[in-house]
Chains A and B, each alone.
Chain A
Amino acid sequence: MQTPAKSPETRYREALSQGRFEIQHCGACASVMFPPRIACCACGSSALEWRPATGRGTVHASTVVAQRPEKGGPYNVVLVDLEEGGRMMSHVAGYGARDVPIGLVVSARIETETARVVFDAADAGERA
């Protein structure tokens, strides 16, 4: 057991606040995991390394949560499979109340006002 110098959760949030989206790779079995952990949920090793996420992913599942217009209107919530491995809940910008299609290739960015990772449709991003 290698006790990390800092809480993985704190480490993750600090990186985000500095503009870096990083995730843990297992040094023993190469699994990639999200959210941050003390030990690999595949093999149990505590030899975890932080690496920059590629930020590329694919929408795995999708819902639109109803909300009254005066509260901001409906918004989407998705699960994104990250390119290198790991799955996270997030939001795809630019879809409004429309369902985000499953299988959509997306690209991550850090929303600075909320310090959370959100995604944009990858092709739209490239066009822009």
Chain B
Amino acid sequence: MSGDPLRGATAICGAATFGLGDAGGFDAMEAQTIAALRALDDAGLDKSQIDGLFGCMQSEFLNTLAFSEYLGIAPRFSSNNRIGGSSFLAHVQEAMAAIHAGLCSVALITYGSVQRSLMGKLQTAVTAAWTPHETDYGPRFPVSSYALMASRHMHDYGTTREDMAHVAVAARQWAAKNPEAFARDPLSVDDVLAARMVSSPFGKLDCCLVTDGAGAIIIARADIARTLRRPPVYVLGSGVAHHAKHVSGMQSLTKTSAVESAGRAYDMARVTPADVQMIQLYDAFTINTILLLEDLGFVPKGEGGRFVSDGHIAPGGSLPVNTNGGGLSCCHPGMYGLFTLIEGVRQLRGDCGDRQVEGLDTVLCHGVGGVFSSNATCILGTENTL
């Protein structure tokens, strides 16, 4: 069977985090650099071997320029693709294509933010501009856009606030097993329901954390990755999709472009949802997990709420989701997408200690950007999947 030439042609050979929760006074560029150097150590590479650079920061519009100056590298392929928090999964797709085309061979993808440490101080973040056709009415960004989607999902499918609370509780149960997670205290469905409202139907605990954090991964041509320190985690498939930026411009509030991004990734990877053993997804709000379980093909449309309420995604469940605690309980430094990949790599390598799930070969990572505006999917696998 002739397959997609990108399937398994690249592998993630280094992955690292720094300063999840509180970066200890380091600024975003410093935190990003520490994560990058840790990823290089993880792979057993020197920075001089990096010839592709990808990134998307909130605090630096020309990120790869500033970062290459700061780190002291001169990449021959560079991209600041900025489609929101999913950017880093789109960077993987670009890196796959660039490596296949011979434009680079070892690529570094980084992110860093210290938004928690900066709270209350002047921030120079690059903030997205939103249309006055929305801002005239005072929606709180991004939460009200997701809240509108949740309201429609509840209306159409009977999804309840309790269902959404189960997403937050499952994330917290995983976080309790992850020493790196920021929020590890016990959490109940009643706690989530009792939290102060932010934008109905979301209370505070339906919303992701606001933390510091930095991450980095290194993706290399597969033959190079096989010579390095750690077991390669192969990129089997990737897909990116977007239609609209604003919630008011979306054709459907309950069926997102994740359907298309995942479909493209499954096609490239030659797998189906039945082959996927674990999901790492961008849970900016509790509705995300429910909507994505549906749009990524794991449950029929409308069944996501019941699926999470039945305990399937929590520790011990049939389909582990966000084993690091996700954006809801591990960390959410402004854009979370890269951390889905890092946790996927760590699980496939068996690095996850108390939260390790055994017997893994295939993990799906998924990022959303903006207000569910962009979707990017990566399917990762061990050597057994090639």
B359 interface residue per 8 A CB criterion: no
Does B197 lie within 8 Å of A89, measured CB to CB? no
Contacting chain A: which of B146-154, B174-182, B289-297, B328-336? B146-154
Residue of chain B at shortest CB distance from A36: B133
Task: Answer whether residue B191 sits at the interface, using C-beta atoms and an 8 A cutoff.
Answer: no
Considering only residues 94-140 of chain B, those with a C-beta below 8 Å from chain A are 131, 133-134, 136-140
CB-contacts of A81-128 with B (<8 A): 87-91, 99, 102-103, 114, 116
Q: Fill in one digit per residue for A54-90: 1 if any B CB lies within 8 Å of its CB, else 0.
A: 0000001111111000000011011100000001111
In the complex, B200 has a CB within 8 A of chain A: yes
A62 lies within 8 A of B248 (CB): no
The A-B contact count (CB < 8 A) is 70
Interface residue B247 (Cβ < 8 Å from any Cβ of A): yes
For A66, the closest partner residue in chain B by CB is B197
- Given known pairs A66-B197, A99-B200, the reply for A77 and B152 (CB within 8 Å) is no
Inter-chain contact B133/A65, CB cutoff 8 Å: no
| Known contacts A77-B137, A79-B247, A91-B137; A64/B152 CB under 8 A | no
Interface residues on chain B, size class: 20 to 34
B196 CB-CB contact with A under 8 Å: yes
Let me know if B148 and A79 touch, CB within 8 A: yes
B148 to chain A, nearest CB (A): 4
User: With a CB–CB cut-off of 8 A, which chain B residues contact A79?
Assistant: 148, 247-248, 253
* A4 interfacial contact with B, CB 8 Å: no
B136 lies within 8 A of A61 (CB) = no
- Indicate if A35 sits at the interface (CB-CB under 8 A): yes
Contact B151 A89, beta carbon cutoff 8 Å:
no
Cβ of B79 < 8 Å from any Cβ of A? Answer: no
A116 to B199, CA, bound (A): 22
Interface assignment of B59: CB less than 8 Å from any CB of chain A: no
Given contact pairs A75-B138, A89-B248, A63 touches B155 in the complex (Cβ within 8 A): no
Of chain B, the residue at the smallest CB distance from A90 is B137
B151–A61 CB distance below 8 A: yes
For the complex, what is the distance from the CA of A78 to the CA of B134, rounded to whole Å?
Answer: 10
Using known A-B contacts A79-B248, A87-B248, A102-B155, determine if residue A63 contacts B147 with beta carbons closer than 8 Å.
yes
Given that A88-B248, A91-B137, A116-B137 are known contacts, is A63 also in contact with B200, CB under 8 Å in the complex? yes
The answer for the CA separation of A54 and B136 in the assembled complex, in Å, is 21
Within 8 A of A (CB), among B197-218: 197-201
B144 interfacial contact with A, CB 8 Å: yes
Closest to B196 in A: A66
B contact residues around A116 at 8 Å (CB): 136-137
* A65 close to B144 (CB less than 8 A): yes
Instruction: Tell me which residues across on chain B come within 8 A of A99, comparing CB atoms.
Output: 151, 200
Nearest CB of chain A from residue B162's CB, rounded to whole Å: 17
Q: What's the least CB distance linking A127 to chain B, in Å?
A: 25
A34 CA to B155 CA in the complex, in Å?
Answer: 24
Do A61 and B152 have beta carbons less than 8 Å apart? yes
Chain A contacts to B: CB under 8 angstroms: 34-35, 60-66, 74-75, 77-79, 87-91, 99, 102-103, 114, 116
- Taking A35-B131, A65-B140 as given, write out 6 further A-B residue pairs in contact, using a Cβ cutoff of 8 Å, ordered by the A residue number: A34-B133, A63-B147, A64-B200, A65-B144, A66-B197, A75-B138
Would you give 29 A-B contacts (Cβ < 8 Å), ordered by A? A34-B133, A35-B131, A60-B152, A60-B253, A61-B152, A62-B148, A63-B139, A63-B144, A63-B151, A63-B199, A63-B200, A63-B201, A65-B144, A65-B199, A66-B196, A66-B198, A74-B197, A77-B148, A79-B253, A87-B248, A87-B249, A89-B136, A89-B137, A90-B137, A91-B137, A91-B138, A102-B151, A102-B155, A116-B137
